[in-house]
Amino acid sequence: MLVKFNQKYIISMVSKNQIKLISSLQQKKFRQSHKLFIAEGVKVIQELLDAAFELDHIYATVHLFEGVPVAKFSLISVDDLKKISALTVPNNCLAVFKIPESKPFLEQNLLLALDSIRDPGNLGTIIRICDWFGIQQIICSPDTVDIYNPKVIQATMGSIARVNCIYEDLLPIIENTTLPVFGTFMDGENIYKMNLPKEGIIVMGNEANGISKAIEDEIKNRISIPRFGALQKTESLNVATATSIIVSEFSRNF
C-alpha cells in the first residue's frame, strides 16, 4: 500500500504475492479466474479510468492520476515495475482493472466479425481502427485472441474503452442476421466499384488461412481490395491494414 510521509509519497515494496498475481494475468486462464487484466502506460490507463472501468490498483514509479484513492495507488521502484510488467521495456505505470461484464450484441449499424484472428497486435490495431471510424461493435470467434491480452490492450491505445467486443460463434449469427454480410476474398468484387450500405457485417479472416470454409459458404457479398502494383506479386495484405482500407470505404456512407 502507498503511504504518505509529511505529505509526500514514499516508495512501497511490491510483495511476492502481488508479483505472482500480476504476472499471472499475462495468461488468459488466470485473467478469467481472477476476472482481472493489466494495462500499461499513462494514456491507456487514463482512458480506462475515464471510461469508468473498475480499478483494482495502480503501480507507478512517479505520482500520477489525480483522484485515485490512496489505497489503490502504490509508488514503486523501477526494479519492481520490471518484475510485474508485460513489456520488454516497461513504461512508468501499470494498472490492474476488473474485467467488466460483457455487453449484449446489438444487430445494428456497421459492425465487424473477426474469424480466428490470432495476433494480439492485429486485434489491438483493429479495435483502434474501429474506434477511429465509429464502429462500436466487434464480434470475435471463440478462438480469436483474448481482448484482455496485455499486448492487445497496449495496441488499442485506449480504444478498448469505446468498442464493445464480444465472443460468439460466428456461424449462427451470420446464418440468422437480417444485415447484409460481406466477406473479404482475393477473388471478390473490387470494393472501389461497389455501392456499399451503411449497415452490415464485415467478416475478416485469419492471418494465414482467411475466412473459414463454413462461414465462407454463408457469405453472399464477396469483396476484395485490388492490387495496383505493376508486378502484381504481393500475395496479401496484413489483416489490420486490410480492415482499415475496407472500413474506410464503408465509412464514406456514414
User: DSSP per residue over 241-253, as a string?
Assistant: HHHHHHHHHHHTT
pLDDT tens-digit readout, 161-218: 999 999 999 999 999 999 999 999 989 999 999 999 999 999 999 999 999 999 999 9
Over 70: is that where the pLDDT of 233 sits?
no
pTM of the model: 0.91
* Cell 494498472 belongs to residue: 95
> What distance in Å separates the CA atoms of residue 240 and residue 246, rounded to the nearest whole number?
10
pLDDT at 10: 73
Supply 33's cell numbers.
Answer: 479466474
Over 50: is that where the pLDDT of 52 sits?
yes
Within 8 A by CB and 6+ apart from 214, the residues are 171
Other beta carbons less than 10 A from residue 84's beta carbon: 22
pLDDT tens-digit readout, 114-170: 999 999 999 999 999 999 999 999 999 999 999 999 999 999 999 999 999 999 999
Other beta carbons less than 10 A from residue 93's beta carbon: 23
pLDDT tens-digit readout, 18-51: 999 999 999 999 999 999 999 999 999 999 999 9
> What distance in Å separates the CA atoms of residue 77 and residue 43, rounded to the nearest whole number?
20
- Band of residue 103 on the pLDDT scale cut at 50, 70, 90: confident
